[in-house]
Structure 1
Amino acid sequence: MALRFASVVVAALFASTALAGAADVVGPYDPAPAAPQPASFDYGDDDLVFELGIKGVVEPEFLGSNDYRVVPGAIFSVEYLNLPGIGSFGGPDGLGLSIGPSFNYVGARKSSDHPELSGLDDVDATYEAGIKVSYEWQYAEVYGEARYAFGGAEGFVGNAGANLIARPTDTVTLKLGPTVSFASKGYMDDYFSVSAAEEIASGGKFQAYDAGGGFRTVGVAASARYEFSPDWFLNADASWDRLVGDAADSPIVKAGDKDQYSFTLGVSKRFSLDLF
């Protein structure tokens, strides 16, 4: 199923690229048009340029679940930041080095909401905050994120990846590439371990298990972004992640599904501020 999903994503990206570029067909004696460039934004005297928006998310009901839910989410990213005396990050064409904040939210896991988790302790909502660093070229990018988690689960978590980038027009950007995520033992323990007390409470359905830190998932992610009006964007994302390592060996995941999918669709707007 994972392979089917990846194939569908690739096919969709190539189809989108073909459709978007259909109007740019070159005749046998016409000069080839220049490759589309990343949309440029005039920062002027602005010191902070960021995007803010909302999205709908289809995601597993909990880590390792084979049931899905639809929840609202927020879109926030920093496109450009200028710090006097330090330097600037990002640029008008979106290329080069970029450093910004990274946030994530994992909803609460309650046994009362999921009969298949009967006997397991509840895990409150987890909040994650940290930093994202990326470097983008014309047709590719690499990125990494590291966050500290607190609330229901505590510890460090992060992810990294690389993307191939297609820009069929100056308002459309398509990305596709592999991803990997990792987590510290504290974080993994809260979501994937089973204590002796939980084993007894579950009637033996879940055997005691002690999850360690390390790699958590590997997968592939795809995204499409369309600037349908100046400074307004339509964003679509899809991903497949397979739980690996100690996460995959957890009795909780074995009772659910190692393959985890997510889909998002949202709208965002670019804002700029003159801070200094």
Structure 2
Amino acid sequence: MQMRFAVTVATFVLAAAMPAMAQDVYAPYDPNPAPPVVAADDYGATDFVFELGIGGAVQPEYLGSDDYMAALYGIASVEYVNIPGIGSFGGRDGRGFSIGPSVNYVGERDFSDLRGLDPVDATYELGLRAGYEWDHAEVYGSVRYAFGGAEGFVGDIGANLIARPTEQLSLKVGPTATIASSDYNASYFSVSPREFLRSNGRFDVYNAGGGFQSVGVAGEARYEVFTDYFVTADASWDRLVDDAGDSPVVTKAGDEDQYYFGLGISKRFSLDLF
């Protein structure tokens, strides 16, 4: 089973981090808000500001599938950390430079999904994400090492235009791309001679190399319903390209177009640690 934009349960473990992946945290609003101030001093005695939540998603059953499934995912991100003697990291609205963990989980592809092809066990991905956000735009990139069913490196790059119609609402949209190593791609898109024979010739022998795996567009709408309580909806379209898109696993039994929609709720927490 595929969880392409999967659970970020390890995010809050790395305290000196900014929001992971597409999760950005916004400051509490006020009926008569003052002009936004990014200075770390705004947090007063608070040393750790983070966000936790849960969401549901509709996404492909496995990488390259044309069937979809419903899945749960966790939300965990860090807005601000202050470490005495070292300094502070993060700031309001996520503006400026950010760095933090990037985590992904890809569920198993079993024998019944693609008869004749080898199953692929669950894959775990762990790495870092870095980005820079201005008032109305951001750029970001991540790199992760995968182990389990697939091994190798995979990462994402992207950019967003940002609109903030109100203090409570933010909108993001922009292009994205995923890059994967040959070892990673081979696990999902290659076909060995043994698999060719076992599938009775349905899947031609194919050797998937590394490079761009997909390109697409992603968008996010985020609303602060009550102070420190958020609802986030995000959607994306990704097109498998190059060796991934040309694979018989995709052309004979899958779909080059991969869609995703998620809806989550979360809450911000603040702690005075020092």
Shorter chain as denominator, the TM-score bin is 0.7 to 0.9
1:164 aligns with 2:164: no
Q: Which amino acid aligns with 2:76?
A: F
- Secondary structure, aligned partner of 1:168: coil
Q: Is the 8 Å Cα contact of residues 161 and 178 (structure 1) preserved in structure 2?
A: yes
Kindly report the root-mean-square deviation, in angstroms, between the aligned alpha carbons of the 2 structures.
2.1
Q: How many residues align?
A: 240
Indicate the residue corresponding to 1:265 in structure 2. Answer: 263
Q: How does 1:64-83 map to 2 (within 5 A)?
A: 64-83=64-83
What is the rounded CA distance, in whole Å, between the counterparts of 1:231 and 1:244 in structure 2?
40
Instruction: Give the superposition deviation at 1:125.
Output: 1.0
| 2:238 counterpart residue number | 241
Query: Which structure is higher in helix share?
Result: 1
Q: 1:236-259: per-residue Cα shift (whole Å, max 9, x none)?
A: 000000001110111101121101
> Cα distance 1:241–1:185, how it changes in 2: closer, same or farther (>3 A)?
same
Compared CA separation, residues 136 and 119, structure 1 to 2 (3 A)? same
Cα distance in 1 for partners of 2:164, 2:86 equals 32
1:91-240 paired onto structure 2 within 5 Å: 91-112=91-112, 114=113, 117-240=114-237
- Does the CA-based 8 Å contact 2:38-2:91 persist in structure 1? no
For the Cα contact (< 8 Å) 1:38–1:170, is it kept in 2?
A: no
- CA–CA separation in structure 1 for the residues paired with 2:150 and 2:212: 17
For residue 107 of structure 1, report the CA deviation from its aligned partner: 1.0
Give SS of 1:63's match: coil
Distance in 2 (alpha carbons) for counterparts of 1:119 and 1:36: 61
Amino acid at match of 1:156: F
3-state SS in 2 of match to 1:170: coil
Q: Percent identity?
A: 64
Task: Letter of the 1:60 partner, please give it.
Answer: P
Partner of 1:56: 56
Residues 69 and 93 of structure 1: is their aligned pair in 2 closer, same or farther, counting only changes over 3 Å?
Answer: closer
TM-score calculated relative to the size of structure 2 = 0.82
Deviation at 1:206, TM superposition (A): 0.6
Normalising by structure 1, report the TM-score: 0.82
Ranges in structure 1 where 5+ consecutive residues have no aligned partner: 1-33
Question: Which consecutive residues of structure 2, in runs of 5 or more, have no partner in the other structure?
Answer: 1-32
CA contact (8 A) 1:37 1:167 kept: no
Return the offset for 1:151.
1.2
State whether residues 129 and 148 of structure 1, in contact with CA within 8 Å, keep that contact through their aligned partners in structure 2. yes
